[in-house]
Structures are given as structure tokens and as C-alpha cells.
Structure 1
Amino acid sequence: MEHLIYGVEDRPPRFFTTLLLSLQHLLAALGGIIAVPLVFGGALKLPADQIVALVNAALLGSGVVTIIQCRGVGPVGIRLPCVMGTSFAFVGAGISVGLEHGVPGILGSSLVGSLVMIVGSFFMPVIRRFFPHTVTSVVVTMIGLSLTPVAVDWAAGGVGSAGYGSVANLAVAVFVLFLVIGFVQWGKGMISASAVVLGIVCGYLLCLAMDWIDFTQVRQAAWFAIPQPLHFGMSFPLSGVVAMSIAFLVTIVETTGTFMALGAATRTPIPGKRLASGMLCDGVGSAFAALMSSPPVSTFAQNVGVVSLTGVASRHVVMLTGVMLLLAGLFPVLGALVVTIPQPVLGGAGLMMFAMIVCAGVRMLSSSEQSRRSTLIIAVSLGCGLAVTVRPDLLAKMPAFIREVFGSGITVGALVAVALNLVLPGRELEVHEEVAA
């Protein structure tokens, strides 16, 4: 998007407009939020009622923290259009803890581990200086490149599905992709701004006509449920606390990159103080989530793609998305209805959204200093990040600690870029620290 239809502080003129724009953020995030508790439940062989409790708690926790991140409460919250949700960055550590200590061990370790992010937030003005323009450009690009394979898997029908890569799945994904392109390119006003949700709705109706929609989960879902704090209890195994603390350290790097990408998408400077407020919300939000019996939360990168594609950067729009997530936690039938959206439909829209993050990164890379040094930093860091992204089995024989820290292409690309910027002569520093938030 060359311009923003709604800036960070803008409010759409009508509630229905805000609702429609909020819905596309919900659709982009809901699958990821629900997936993490489902993965935990499957790996730990939890009974159905406990998995439902985890899902409800994750939705409610994500909704509350999204509202705080967007609105801001004192020093907590970056006040940008951030959707918060349960993160796959914690899945590896969480499952290893859960297999030995159960869900109480995961939640207790998450509560203590969140202190790493809370304490780390006070050092963000210093950490921000390690993310000058070239490094930030690499991280933004790696976020898009890392998410794109996810959209491809959705478009093909989902990893492990019997019809993965079938002509029908790909045709539906391409249909939605073309619709989104058409709405963005030729739509006016609301049509262009709500291109993602319109494309998904049209794809959903097509799948409904093809009898692809299974409403079993909707019929089985409860109409109303209140997640109970400390539903599973808590335990604090030392090994679990260490594992989750490492996961939080990795998440600090990824979340920093996501905030930088969001700053680029919303045309907003992200000085260290603002970055600290966002990171503090991530940490406090994860502690709150643990108390509500939910896995930890972090800022969702995929919603940066929604902002980049639609030009809607209003934090008030995403605040309403937080309210929707909260309601989905209280009314499970609403979340179950959204989950019926076939993955190829999400894949068609997701491919466009995530590719827009890549484009934003490429634009930033093109405006970086044109020198042999910056070229070397960009080339090596992108290459290392992509190596882990496209060949995750590369680290399969490494110790668990190495797999945990370097299992994400975003983290690898960011760490390599930061290290090269520090080591190579002519170090580039962030000089815009005093820019007002």
C-alpha cells in the first residue's frame, strides 16, 4: 500500500466499518492462537474438556492483552495495531516441560519465564541501538520470508492433510488470491481497506457451495464458558523455568523485529522507550496468560501483513479485534465458527499478506547504505535465516539448547545481522533514539 487509509490514531467513521476491518485481523490471527493449545493438548494427550479449557483461556488472554497493547495502560503497551496471541516460539520448550511436569509445569514455568521479558523490557533502549536500519531491514524481510511457507501450506490444504497440494485446494487458494488482488487494486474506500475479509468471505461461500465446510465443531462447542484462573494449577520445575526462559529470550529478538516491521508498515518511529512499552506488555501479558491457564503470548507478525496490504493502521480497529478475541473466549461457539474456514481460503489471503511484508523489507533493504559492508551483512544474514526456514531439519542433530535458540529463521537472521554489524569495521548505530514516539 503506497499510503495509509487510516493512520495509527485515526478512527473509522462508522462502527460497522471498524467491525469489518477488525474482523480481518481476527481471521488472520485466530487459527494461530487456537493452534498452540491444540498442539499442546495433542502432544500431552489431554482429555477433550481440558483442551477446550486451554483454547478458551488462550482466546480470552490474547484478547485482553491485545486491548492493552493497542490502547496502552501507563507504561505498558506500544499503542500500535498489534494483535497478541499464543506463540509457536514456546511450543518446543512447552512440550518438553509438559511431557515431564504436565500443564501445571508449563504454566508455572511460563509465569517465571515471563520475568525475562519484563526485565528485558527495561533494557530495550540499549537493545534498540543494535537494530540500525540495515539490521531492521533484514529482520523485516525474514519475517515475511518465514511466514510465506506457512501460507503455502495453508493453500495446499494444511500439512499432513490427505488432499495436500490437490488441484481443488490450490484452485480455491488462487481464487481467493485473485479476489484480494482485485479488491486492493480496483476497489475504492472500504472495498480496498477490507480486501482480506472480503476475499475470505467469498472463498468461504465457494467452499460452502462445494460442501467443504464441516460444522461438527460448531455444534459441539459450548455457547458460553468462563475460563477459570489457575484451572490447571501451577508447578515450578527448575528445568522447565530454564527452558521457558530461553524461549522468552528468543522471543525478545523476534518481537523486536515484529515491532520494527510494524513501525515501517504504520509509518511510525519506534524509539527504545516505545519498544520497551511494547515488550513490557508482552511480558506482563504472558504472566497474565499463565494465571488465566493459557500458554504465553507474543505479538503476531502476520497481522503486520494485514496493515501493509490494506493500509489500515488504526490501533482502534485492532483494539476491537481484541474485544472479539475476548468474546470468542467467553463464547466458544464463535471461535469454532471461524475455525471452520478451510485452510486453502486462508492460504490465498495469507500468501498476499505475508508477501507484502517481504515487499516492505525489500523496500527497506533498497534504501540501506549501498556499500560492500551492508551488502555482506544483508547477504549472509538472509542466507543463514533462510537456511533454517527452508531446511528446519538442519539442526535436528544439534543439542536441544541450540535447536531452541536457532530454530527460527527470524531469530537466526536477526542475530547474524546484529553480530556482523558489531564485528565488521564501520559499525552502523541507531541514531534516531530521541525521535518522539
Structure 2
Amino acid sequence: MKLEYEVDDKPGFLKSSLLGFQNILTAFSGIIAVPLSIAAIAGTNVSETSILISAALLASGICSFIQTRGIFKGNAKVGIGLPTIMGTDFGFVPPANAVINTMGGGLAGYFGATILGALLELILSFFIKPLLRFFPEVVTGTVITLIGITMMPVAFDWVGGGYGAENYGDPLFIGIAVFTFLLIIFINHYGRGFATTASVFIAMIISYIICIPMGIVDFSQVAAAPWIKIPELFPFGVKFDLRFVVPFIAGYLVTIIETVGVMKTLGTVCEVELSDADISSGVRADAIGSMLSPVFGSGAAQTFSQNVGLIPLTKCASKKVALFSSFILIIMSFCPKFATLVSIMPSPILGGAGILMFGTILGSGMQALSKAKFSTKNIMIIAGGIGVGIGITMRPDIVSKLPSLISALFSSGISGGTIVAVILNILLVEKEY
């Protein structure tokens, strides 16, 4: 593959703007889906949801700039210095649900746990090489698989119109979700180039437009929202409690593993040789981004792999284009009217997309597991980790009477399953025949 624009090439303003906006379209559904998920979990109103979406856009822009531009030098370097787009990560939605609802921390507890957990990722970014031995493919695959499985009930609640909704499961809601689901598949499978890459975004917009004449979209909130608003610091407050951090530990450990893989792939498609120090600086940018994001009201940040996949497709690896993307995201975050327009999107649309998005995560986990040897030891790790994770997801009250520390450790299916998988990997010795 020959790149049309290499890392240090600088396309003109118009080209950089258009290519930068293409990056945003590719990542947009991922950026907004997480704050919409958090809003549904926390039961926020339209105004509060728009704040979460604006904050996610702002945090994504700032974090993308840091990761792409790179700051500081030497062992303290933050950011890999290659074209990347960062955004809120789905892997942190299950622990967010545990903190907000199961543990009663609310949004303030969620943001506090995000910051404290990011400190762990920052520390571990200096020990990337030795840390990876605790996460072989069988453990990583088990954890990623669990993320997809444990989020599926959330997707189906969206399909039904939102958990607790008076008309939960209305056939109209299910029809909207099915239409969105099938439209994404159709565009992704039969589309070409950019249409395939942006299939989720395109399908959600089409479904949104179709919902308008049905009378289930209320634009009065959009009309009331201001055009311009300066973001607040800690709009939902912040609460630091070590108990709330526990469900996030697994998420941050998985983020490190995934980011290492994304960084290696990024180096390959950008045709740049990366050292262990470069990869560590990329993980460090994820950590710093996750510490900064809650200040504006957004969740933990991670480098988006879909934008890495866009580079060989467009043959554009220019850092300038990625930096333009970050500036556009920041500008978009200052327009509450736009954020409100997104926040009133009917939840069945998100449900139809969510089934595929969470299913894709599940598929990624299965793909990782397929690379592991299916030995007796590994089968026990998979069975134990996934079994415990699904069990806790289905029956979370089972751990409520355990000592507080243990209850916190197993407060979500993802954290409980990860702990079991890591421990089994350490304790079990492969049989020799």
C-alpha cells in the first residue's frame, strides 16, 4: 500500500477539513453512543443528556489532539504522535452501571471512579512489557467477550423504549429497532468505501428522520437549547470513593491491552517503526485523557480502532488531518442545540445499533479466543470467567451479602469474570501428556 499522505504531510485547508470530518463521521456513533448509554443508565433528562454529549465531544477533541500531537519528551512523553481519534469507551459502561445504580454512586461517583482508575492506567503505562504476561490471548479474549455479553441486556432495554418505560416493549419501538438493525447490516454489507465505514451513523440518521413524522420526537427541547454555551467544569459533581474504583479496574486493564494492539496496528498502517516507549506513551495518553474527561463531564477515553482502519482505506496518514478532526470536535461541543438534537433520539434506534455494536465486541472477543490454544487449562479459564461474568450479570444480588470489598470486586459481570480469568490463568498449570 502506498500512502497518498504520509504522517508529516500537510494537505491544504479544505482537504484537511473534509478528510477530518470524515474521521469524525467514522467515530461519531461511538463517541455519542456511550454518553447516551450513561444517560439511559443514570436516568438523566434531555438537558442533562445534552451536557453529557457535548462533554463527550469536547473530551474527544482534546484527547485526540494530545494523542496525535504528543506532548512532553523522553520517558514522560504523552501521546504516540500519530493520527488518532479518541473517544468514550464502551468497555466502561458496565462498571458505570455498577457504580451509578448497584453501588449508588450516581454520576458523581462514576466520574470520581474514572479519574482514580485512570491513575492506575497511568502507573501501569510505565510497565507495559511485564504487565502483558498476565493477559495472554485467552484472558483478553474472555474479557472482551464478556463486555459484549454483559451489555446485551442494556441494548434490549433500549429496544423496548427504555427500562421502566410505561409503554415498554411497544411493537412500534421494536419495529424501529429492527429497521435500524437491518439497515446497518445492509449498508455495511452492500455499501462501498465510506458508506460501509459510516454504516452505523448513516442508519441512525435515516431512522431518526423516519421517526419524526411518527410523533415520537419532541423538538421543543431543541428550540429551547442555546446555540452557544461554554462547558462547565464538573457539571455533575465528582465523588471519590475507593469502593467505586473496583469495577473499573478490569475496564482499564482491558483498555491497556486493546490500546497496545491498536498502537501496533497504527504503526503498521502509517508505515512507522514503533518502540516499546512509543506504545507506552500511547497508553499514557489514554490515561491522561481519562483523567481530564470527567472534568468536563465525560467518561474514560480510548483510541478508536475504527479510525486506524480508515487510514489504509483512504491512504491518508497525515497528522494534520487528525488534528483538524480534533478542532472540529471541540467546536461542535460548544453548540448545545446540536447536542440536544442528538439527545432526543428515540432509544429503539440506539437499541438496534447497540445489538450490533455490542455483538461486534463479542465477535472481537471470540476472534481473540480463536487464536488461543484450546487446551484443558484454557477451556477452564474461558468457562470460569464467562460463566461467573454471565451469572453475576443475570443475578447481581447474589453478591450483595458478601463482605463489602468482595461485593465490590464482583459488583459487575465484567469485573467478576476478569478476576476469575486472571486468577485461573495464574494458578492452573498446563497438563502434559
After TM superposition, the score normalised by the length of structure 1 is 0.75
CA spacing shift, 1:267–1:367, aligned 2, 3 Å: farther
1:203 Cα deviation from its structure 2 partner: 0.8
% identical aligned pairs: 29
Query: 1:27 maps to which residue?
Result: 29
CA spacing shift, 1:206–1:261, aligned 2, 3 Å: farther
Contact 1:94 1:106 (8 Å CA) reproduced: yes
Superposition map of 1:77-226 within 5 A: 77=79, 81-84=85-88, 87-88=92-93, 89=95, 114-226=118-230
Using the alignment, how far apart are the partners of 1:173 and 1:390 within structure 2? 23
1:200 Cα deviation from its structure 2 partner: 1.0
Query: 2:350 maps to which residue?
Result: 346
Of 52, 68, 71, the residue aligned with 2:66 is 68
Using the alignment, how far apart are the partners of 1:254 and 1:364 within structure 2? 13
Instruction: Output one character per residue of 1:369-407: Cα deviation in whole Å (capped at 9) or x when no partner.
Output: 132221121111111121122333332333443343322
Query: 1:3 maps to which residue?
Result: none
1:28 Cα deviation from its structure 2 partner: 3.1
Using the alignment, how far apart are the partners of 1:152 and 1:309 within structure 2? 30
Using the alignment, how far apart are the partners of 1:305 and 1:147 within structure 2? 20
Query: 1:379 maps to which residue?
Result: 383
What number of residue pairs does the alignment pair up? 410
Query: 2:256 maps to which residue?
Result: 256
Using the alignment, how far apart are the partners of 1:73 and 1:334 within structure 2? 31
1:335 Cα deviation from its structure 2 partner: 1.0
Of 418, 422, 432, the residue aligned with 1:414 is 418
Contact 2:98 2:411 (8 Å CA) reproduced: no
Using the alignment, how far apart are the partners of 1:139 and 1:10 within structure 2? 37
Contact 2:117 2:245 (8 Å CA) reproduced: yes
Q: Which amino acid aligns with 2:59?
A: G
CA spacing shift, 1:36–1:141, aligned 2, 3 Å: closer
CA spacing shift, 1:244–1:378, aligned 2, 3 Å: closer
Using the alignment, how far apart are the partners of 2:5 and 2:413 within structure 1? 30
Q: Helix, strand or coil: the match of 1:123?
A: helix
Using the alignment, how far apart are the partners of 2:196 and 2:396 within structure 1? 36
Using the alignment, how far apart are the partners of 1:94 and 1:8 within structure 2? 44
1:255 Cα deviation from its structure 2 partner: 2.1
CA spacing shift, 1:137–1:183, aligned 2, 3 Å: same
CA spacing shift, 1:393–1:209, aligned 2, 3 Å: same
1:197 Cα deviation from its structure 2 partner: 1.6
Contact 2:180 2:352 (8 Å CA) reproduced: yes
The answer to whether 1:333 aligns with 2:337 is yes
CA spacing shift, 1:173–1:380, aligned 2, 3 Å: same
Q: Which amino acid aligns with 2:62?
A: V
Using the alignment, how far apart are the partners of 2:236 and 2:155 within structure 1? 33
Q: Which amino acid aligns with 2:35?
A: I
CA spacing shift, 1:81–1:113, aligned 2, 3 Å: closer
Using the alignment, how far apart are the partners of 1:249 and 1:148 within structure 2? 21
Query: 1:294 maps to which residue?
Result: 297
Instruction: Output one character per residue of 1:152-204: Cα deviation in whole Å (capped at 9) or x when no partner.
Output: 22222122222222211111111111111111222222222221122112211
Instruction: Output one character per residue of 1:43-89: Cα deviation in whole Å (capped at 9) or x when no partner.
Output: xxxx9999977775554234312443455445323655542369543
Q: Helix, strand or coil: the match of 2:134?
A: coil
Using the alignment, how far apart are the partners of 2:6 and 2:388 within structure 1? 34
Of 270, 283, 287, the residue aligned with 2:287 is 283
Structure 2: gaps (5+ residues):
none
Q: RMSD in angstroms over aligned alpha carbons?
A: 4.5
1:110 Cα deviation from its structure 2 partner: 6.5
Of 382, 397, 403, the residue aligned with 2:401 is 397
Using the alignment, how far apart are the partners of 1:311 and 1:360 within structure 2? 20
CA spacing shift, 1:20–1:50, aligned 2, 3 Å: closer
Q: Which amino acid aligns with 2:145?
A: T
CA spacing shift, 1:232–1:165, aligned 2, 3 Å: closer
CA spacing shift, 1:154–1:327, aligned 2, 3 Å: farther
Q: Helix, strand or coil: the match of 2:345?
A: coil
1:297 Cα deviation from its structure 2 partner: 2.3
1:312 Cα deviation from its structure 2 partner: 7.0
CA spacing shift, 1:198–1:35, aligned 2, 3 Å: closer
Contact 1:82 1:299 (8 Å CA) reproduced: yes
Contact 1:8 1:266 (8 Å CA) reproduced: no
CA spacing shift, 1:17–1:350, aligned 2, 3 Å: farther
Contact 1:125 1:275 (8 Å CA) reproduced: no
356-365 or 316-325: bigger deviation: 316-325
Q: Which amino acid aligns with 1:253?
A: L
Using the alignment, how far apart are the partners of 1:299 and 1:197 within structure 2? 19
1:266 Cα deviation from its structure 2 partner: 7.7
Using the alignment, how far apart are the partners of 1:161 and 1:212 within structure 2? 14
Q: Helix, strand or coil: the match of 1:152?
A: helix
Query: 2:242 maps to which residue?
Result: 242
